[in-house]
Amino acid sequence: MKRVGIPRSLFFFTYLPFWYTFWAELGYEVVVSPLTNKGILDKGVEEASTDLCVPVKVFHGHVAYLAGQQVDAIFLPRMVNAGSQATFCPKFLALPEMVKCSMTDLPPLVEVRVDLTSPWSLRSLCHKIQQEWAPGKDFGAAYRRAVLAQEAFQAALTRGELVGSALKPYTGDEGDKPKAEEALKSELDIAVLGYPYTVHDAFLNGGLLRKLRRLGARVHTADMVPIRELRRYRMHKDLFWHYSNMVFKAGKFWLQPERRVDGIIHVSTFACGPDAMVGKMLELEAKARGVPLIALTLDEQTGQAGLDTRIEAFVDMLARRKTGAYNISVHG
Ligand code: SF4
């Protein structure tokens, strides 16, 4: 059986169910790289250009891992458009070139352009992949099952089953589902807003989601907001980037009076251009609603102790604010 590798990074956290199912239905054994760990991060830092953001460096580390697994190909799409006016960040657009320029001894790359500006684009892209990589296989059945898998994943996210758990059928991970006792003692609602590949990569963010739940918070993320809800929030002009729009509009969603959260944590990464705008816009939005916001900026040097201290202090402040232990004016 042929083997295809999928890096557990970037687009993985949003689209794995579709692509995993599609390749498996085409008769491939799908090899998913493990959870990010120190070895993968170090390898990514070594292979990638120094001025890249840490998620893209981590992506290089996952590709390097897969290259050592005797796979017949690595799935490395150029993510251009997910069906709206916005494109993905330029680093997504140039991903195949970046990897090929900085890494050697790679297996063949499945380097396809994912541009879903027309409703039929995904279907024809999948057909093209099947013809080139799995001639003779039943394209229609593989495509339909992949669509169903993706829909089930989106529904699980909306129900609050965070990505670690919702991806379990494809990765076998234990998952990151809240334990019953964690949910019971939850008193605070905190929106953790950031790109899925930083919010759900526990190594990169120092186990942020689990830590918040242990501190008694119910966690809400941007990808838990149904797409139809995000579409309701119109801006004078949308941002250029797909994930940035998602994060900002999710911020507006979690700040609505009927579901207003107690606080927002904006998870950002050093050297991220789009986040410079999203962060400021979220800050202004939260300020207008009187909701405290803290920004955590991650890079490969981020220390666990520093993160823990900031998170604990923020949660403590929110708890005191909620119980009236003290009254503070947020954002100065
Ligand atoms: S949006 Fe930011 S964090 Fe994501 S790939 Fe682009 S520069 Fe990196």
Report CA(135)–ligand 1 centroid distance (Å). 35
Is any ligand 1 atom within 6 A of the Cβ of residue 18? no
- pLDDT tens digits, residue range 22-56? 999 999 999 999 999 999 999 999 999 988 999 99
What pLDDT does 332 receive? 38
Check pLDDT > 70 for residue 258: yes
What pLDDT does 325 receive? 63
Cα(161)–Cα(20) distance, integer angstroms? 19
Measured at the CA of 124, the angle between CA 119 and CA 126, to 5 degrees, comes to: 115
Q: String of b and e for 175-213 (b: at least 16 CB within 10 Å)? A: ebbbeeebeeebebbbbbbbbbbbbbbbebbbbbbbbbb
Higher pLDDT, 279 or 186: 279
Higher pLDDT, 175 or 140: 140
**Residue that has been written with the tokens 């990151």 in this structure:** 176
CATH class of domain segment(s) 178-323 = alpha beta
Q: Where in the chain is the domain with CATH 3.40.50?
A: 3-156, 178-323
Measured at the CA of 286, the angle between CA 288 and CA 207, to 5 degrees, comes to: 170
Is any ligand 1 atom within 6 A of the Cβ of residue 269? yes
% of the chain beyond a pLDDT of 90: 70
- pLDDT tens digits, residue range 182-212? 554 568 999 999 999 999 999 999 999 999 9
Check pLDDT > 60 for residue 126: yes
Report CA(299)–ligand 1 centroid distance (Å). 12
Mutational pocket test of ligand 1: of 9, 11, 53, 80, the residue with most ligand atoms within 8 Å of the beta carbon: 53
CATH class of domain segment(s) 3-156 = alpha beta
Quote the mean pLDDT of the chain: 90
